[in-house]
Structure 1
Amino acid sequence: MAETTVLKVAMSCQGCVGAVKRAIGKLEGVESYDIDIKEQKVTVVGNLKPEVVLERVSKTGKATSFWSDEPAAAKTDSPPVEAVAVL
């Protein structure tokens, strides 16, 4: 039965996306995948354990975690607050 794995992966350019694509492409059992560089999100569907997907993508050297491991504060839709110095 197919399982969906969603990862948060630090990707800053198309080279990063290519590295993740190559890593996922080497996994047996992948049925489909989607890489969203803007959201830093990788979704993999297939007959393989989420831990296997996480381990393989982590080998690219990109910071990788399960999407659900994201801290609650980072899940808000509000933009980050920037400090402004007042002179």
Structure 2
Amino acid sequence: MSEQTYTYKVAMSCSGCSGAVDRVLKKTAGVSSYDISLEKQTVVVNTSLSQQEVLDVIKKTGKAAEIA
């Protein structure tokens, strides 16, 4: 599968929240890069995974997340 860029809305209220998302994405095979914006409450991910697979990984943090 080719590389895709997906944007997600993720409920993050502090740097600990964004840190949790950072930790799971860092460990996920197929994720080449990502940008977490605590201010905008968004996560932009460049990946070879499907949009749903990445959403499921983000949801493992316990944060409310949805496709933006």
Shift of 1:33: 0.3
Hey, which of these two has a bigger chunk of strand by percent? 2
Unpaired stretches in structure 2, ≥5 consecutive residues: none
- Identity across matched positions, percent: 46
Find the structure with the greater CA-based Rg.
1
Residue 3 (structure 2) aligns with: 2
Q: With structure 2 as the length reference, what TM-score do the two structures score?
A: 0.94
Aligned length: 67
Equivalent position SS for 1:28: coil
After the TM superposition, list the runs of 4 or more consecutive aligned residues in structure 1 that deviate by more than 6 angstroms. none
Q: How far apart, in 1, do the equivalents of 2:32 and 2:25 lie? A: 10
Match runs of 1:36-47 below 5 Å:
36-47=37-48
Which structure ranks higher in relative contact order (CA pairs < 8 Å, sequence separation ≥ 6)?
2
Match runs of 1:71-86 below 5 Å:
none
Shift of 1:39: 0.5
